[in-house]
Each structure stands twice: as structure tokens, then as C-alpha cells.
Amino acid sequence: MYTMIVVDDEHYMRLGIKEAIDWSKVNVKIVAEACDGEEALELAIKLHPDLILTDIRMPFLNGLDLMEKLKENHLDCGVIVLSGYDEFEYAQKAIENGALAYLLKPIDRNQLRDAIAKTMIKLRKEKSSRNYYEMLKSELSELKRKFIINLLSGKIRDPDEIREKKSILKLPLEELRNVVVKVILDDYNIIKAETAQEEFHEFIANVEEAISLPLILNSEFIGFYVEIEPGQWCFIINLHSEENAAAKIEECCRYAAMNFENRFSKTISIGISEVCENIEGISECFRQATEAAEFKFLPHFSSIVKHSDVIPKEHRSEVREVLKFIKNHYYEDITVDMAAKRLSLSPSYIMHIFKEELGKTFITCLTECRIEAAKKLLQKPGLKIFEIASKLGYEDAKYFCRIFKKTTGLSPSEFRNEIAAPSGERIGFGGYLR
């Protein structure tokens, strides 16, 4: 049964309308009545009726203005207009504002019944078309998502098939110079288990917004994203021939991670692939981005890792074990001797394999790890420099400052001031797929 509100400033007119016909026989239920447009608008916002039968001339807010307000508030209801004025201007404005019928007072019962019947047919058609459109839009969105996931996973590799489907689905997927960025919400399962269901859904929606907005505010790059698994998003971005584009995307990711941590006090892992020079290589880029996102060197911090910085799996297991030891103990006063003892290796052997495999010393890797952690901690304004030094295993804050400046070119205070300064030149990339 359709619901309706009757609006007229005359009490007897409202009463006459209610008694004019047997509304149940035309499948209508009068759920409320109002004496002016303002009251009608409040009732419409509260009740969301299917139909409003309203007079034109009323105090405070007339019928035509009421129709405008209904549109402004995105209230999708049919309107039948009543008027004591047989004037073309009123009828024209009412029809322009979307009135489904225009009736003159005094109301003839048969005319009212016919107008209601015709209006119900229009409402049913509109509702059916609207539902079909929403369903079609939803299905199209799901088709896009499935196509992107199949492309990323390598289930679709034929260039001609990719071109045909991206054209049909109208995806902004370019053929050359693409980069894949994967974003993982850390501790997803723990957060889900500790959060009420409704609150968790709202949190995830906010997370997606916080991750995507810094990356799509600026349309310098063509790109879009899709949620590939719960708590995991994948961006496909085209670089065109933009100079230093890869570096700018990395900057975007760092900015997004910083904003995310500040807003939610939680962490994300971001992986950036190599540049892909052909459309059929997207799946390989996705593999690289996934590997990079999962290579989280510092626990309890957000990470942004390029695939080129990932330690190859072919490195001997001892190198990976020593790096894991650094990752888990960088905040302690550790030495190569301690690592050697813990892993049952000799210090000289560790120094040899590091130089041979990585081209770096144990101390260099430890320092790089600590400096990356320092950059994260310097984003927290409440921490003093000496406190950060202590958290990183440096007993001497002055020594920490010297090491930090030698590594980054900035003192800790200068670095903190730079990241705190407003940045109107942050780069993002445009377009996304729900």
C-alpha cells in the first residue's frame, strides 16, 4: 500500500479530501496531514511518503516551494497539486517541478480518484525503472570488480580480450606505463574481532575513504582502485610520461600512510610495483606490489615498500634471518656479536655475507632500520627528541641527531618541521572503482 500526506491550510479541506473516496480501494494510506509547507516538509523527511497531495497557496512555505525543498532533501515522492486558481503559470511551474497531476478546487471525487489511479501507475513505473537502474548499476560495478580481479590474478592475459572488456566496462585502464599499488590494513582480523559489527562496517568505510582520498584528490595520474579482499585495496595508476612520476606516487603513499596513522592510530602496509610497460603485465605488477606490501620491515609502523627494495628470496637464509633479528630488535642496543650468538653464526661470517649479498654492513642495515622508525616517531608531536633516541636504542641523543642528519640531510627537528608544514603540493591520482 502506498503512503500519502495531505497538505492544506484549511482544516475542512483536509477533512474533505480524507473522506472524498475510500483510499484503501486505491491502495493508498493517509499517514499524516499538515497545515502548511514547513510542517509538510518535516513530516516528509520523517515519514518518506510515496505521495504528497498539496495545496499551492499556503503560509510559510507554499506548494511550489515545498516541491523545491523536497528535491533539495532528495525525497523521492510523487506530488499532486491542488489549486483554486485556474492559471497556466501555476500549472506550468508545478509540472516543471515534477508534479504528477494538477487539480482545481473544488475537487470532484471522480477526478480525484482518476488522478490518484494515474499517479499510482506513474509511481509504479518510476519505481520499477529506478530499481532496475540501481540493480544494473550494482551489477555493472560487480562486473568491473571481477574483471579487475581476474586481470590482477592473471586469469585474463590476452591483450585483445583485455582491450575489449575494458572498453565495454569503460575503465580508465591505459596500456602503457602502469604501476600497481597494494594497501593492506594491518591486524584486520584482530580489529574485526574486537569491534562491534555495525561499528566495524563504519570503520572500514572510513578507512577506505582515508586511504583513497589523499591518492585521488589530484587528477595528475589516471587511475582507480578496487577492494580485492576484506581490508585490502589495489590501485592501478598510469604514469604517462610524467617526469619523476614514480617518486611522486611514493610520496602520495607516504602522505596517505601518515594521515591514516594520525586519524586511526593504526597501521597499513603499502607495496608499490615496478613500472609495467604493457597491459598484459598487470598481473606481474600485482604480484610485485603484494610481495612489497607483505615485506614489512618495521613492526608496529605503517610501511611503504617499493618492489625494488624487497630482499630477493634467493638471498641465503642466514641473511634473511639476521635482517629479521634487526627488524625485531632494532630498538635495543644490539651488535653483530649479539646477532651471531642468537643465530649460532660467527660475527665474521655475518659481516662477510652482508657485504657479499647486500653490499652493506650490519651496522648500516641497523642504522637504516632505526632511521626509518625515527621518521615515523617524529610525526608524533608529543615525543621529544631524546625520548625518540631512547626508543631506538640510542643512549646518546646528540649521537642520534648526528646519525639522523648524516643519513637524511636534515636534523630531527628540521625533519619534524618539514613534515608538519602545510603542503599544498601533495600529489594524488584520480578515479576509483567501488
pLDDT digits (tens, 9 = 90+) for 370-415: 888 888 888 877 889 999 998 888 888 999 999 999 988 889 998 8
Angle at 216 (CA atoms; ends 211, 221), nearest 5 degrees: 130
Q: 3-class DSSP state for residue 212?
A: helix
Structural Rg of the chain based on CA atoms: 32
Do 2-129 and 154-311 fold alike per CATH? no
- What is the per-residue pLDDT for 88? 57
Topology of domain 2-129, CATH:
Rossmann fold (3.40.50)
Phi then psi for residue 243, to 5 deg, are -70, 135
- What is the per-residue pLDDT for 246? 75
Q: Which helix (H) or strand (E) holds 31?
A: strand 28-34
Q: Where are the domains of the chain?
A: 2-129, 154-311
Topology of domain 154-311, CATH:
Alpha-Beta Plaits (3.30.70)
Spans of the chain below 50 pLDDT: 132-133, 136, 219, 422-434
List the grid coordinates of 365.
642495515
- What is the per-residue pLDDT for 277? 83
- What is the per-residue pLDDT for 219? 44
Q: What's the distance, CA 408 to chain centroid? A: 32
Question: How many other C-beta atoms are found inside a 10 Å radius of the C-beta of residue 230?
Answer: 10
Cβ density class 271-282: b for 16+ within 10 Å, e for less = bbbbebeebbbb
List the grid coordinates of 426.
601533495
- What is the per-residue pLDDT for 124? 72
- What is the per-residue pLDDT for 91? 67
Cβ neighbours for 413, distance < 8 A, ≥ 6 positions apart: 385
